[in-house]
A = this chain, B = another copy of it.
């Protein structure tokens, strides 16, 4: 009975197929996984957090266990603006949310009518794509090159959509250590993108989970930072930063900066969707900052992951056939392979599973109907160094044997 009453969006809603893929390998003993996007539990600052949770409840229990404001913990917001060095941003330009997905959802709720267009990168983070689609958005994707989103393609696409009378609500991009490709948008490309967005008045949703995970090379300012510093604009970019990769995803915390007009409406949606994020975890994150743990903690995370990236890059060079193409990310948790056009990563996935190695076929990261099949994503933050060596050796061999 209840099924008949469901909304059309709910009846046709897709879930992230990555979950099902990962589930299909769950009971394989000795499996080496390059599939997930989980941070290593070894990077969780357990000792400090354990003490902070206990302290916060003991000393501030009256307020942190009580209802909190939908805009988020005032102290956390202040600390974040201080930490990021934005002394000219107002409290009305930052909102705490229950994770990055939550912020992306509120931005979508604030802007989308069914049929509206979101321009995304291809490939892109599947979790966001399925959420956009469930909310009735039409997704149009733009290919990436080694410098990130291709602006020429973007311009052509916007022109084409304008001609077709479509309403573009925003551009969704992951500029740093992109999921799934690991690509980082270059500085000139960032400026081009901002200038294009300003000229066309198209807002940009900047998803920034990984920029603090840089293990070599030089930081590039976020789009929000660039728009703020170089163009004096804090409205065209809405930047979402999560704590999931720098504290722990279980705490479900992220923050979003942008236009106060937009932030206010996103906050109104938060009030209707979950009242506010968890107050206890919010105050713990605030104390983590006020007590000055963040800098040392980030350094320890970077030191922790660096050998994993190094190992993965070395194994890719050592074991992959020469016709496999890949970039060399300087951070994040993913690398991406381009296979020959006739080599299907979906097929390879099944073969690899039989050899106890797993990854995510690239096709899963494209909007429906826009898939590419000769590509795949490798995660290097979950398996240990020996597993990376062994898994990549197997994978290289499987690729070499693919045509025989």
A residues within 8 Å of B by Cβ? 1-3, 5-10, 13, 15-16, 38-39, 41, 44, 46-47, 49-51, 53-55, 57-58, 61-68, 97-99, 101-102, 105, 109-113, 127, 130-131, 134, 169-170, 201, 203, 235, 244, 247-252, 259, 261-262, 265, 268-269, 271-281
Cβ contacts under 8 Å, A276 to chain B: 252
Cβ contacts under 8 Å, A279 to chain B: 249-252
Contact between A10 and B66, CB atoms less than 8 A apart: no
For the complex, what is the distance from the CA of A325 to the CA of B1, rounded to whole Å? 42
Cβ contacts under 8 Å, A3 to chain B: 261
Closest to A51 in B: B54
Contact between A272 and B105, CB atoms less than 8 A apart: yes
Closest to A8 in B: B113
Contact between B265 and A252, CB atoms less than 8 A apart: no
Closest to A252 in B: B278
Copies, count: 2
Describe A's contact surface by its main secondary structure: helix
Contact between B280 and A2, CB atoms less than 8 A apart: no
- What are 25 contact pairs spanning A and B, CB under 8 A? A2-B259, A2-B261, A2-B262, A7-B109, A7-B111, A7-B112, A9-B109, A16-B271, A44-B61, A44-B62, A50-B58, A53-B53, A63-B250, A65-B247, A65-B249, A98-B252, A98-B274, A99-B275, A102-B275, A251-B279, A252-B274, A252-B276, A252-B277, A252-B278, A278-B281
Contact between A235 and B2, CB atoms less than 8 A apart: yes
Partner of A57, one of B49, B62, B63: B49
Known: A46-B65, A99-B275, A281-B280. A7 touches B251 (CB 8 A): no
Cβ contacts under 8 Å, A63 to chain B: 41, 250
Contact between B265 and A278, CB atoms less than 8 A apart: no
* Interface core residue of A109, A259, A272 (most chain B CB under 10 Å): A272
Contact between A53 and B274, CB atoms less than 8 A apart: no
Partner of A109, one of B10, B113, B169: B10
Partner of A66, one of B41, B134, B170, B262: B41
For the complex, what is the distance from the CA of A45 to the CA of B150, rounded to whole Å? 55
For the complex, what is the distance from the CA of A97 to the CA of B252, rounded to whole Å? 13
For the complex, what is the distance from the CA of A274 to the CA of B278, rounded to whole Å? 12
Contact between B2 and A67, CB atoms less than 8 A apart: no
Closest to A110 in B: B10
For the complex, what is the distance from the CA of A280 to the CA of B49, rounded to whole Å? 11
Cβ contacts under 8 Å, A66 to chain B: 38-39, 41, 44, 248-250
- Name 20 extra pairs, CB < 8 A, besides A13-B265, A41-B65: A2-B261, A8-B113, A41-B63, A44-B66, A46-B57, A50-B58, A61-B248, A66-B248, A98-B274, A99-B274, A101-B272, A101-B274, A102-B273, A102-B275, A127-B272, A131-B273, A251-B280, A273-B273, A278-B281, A280-B280
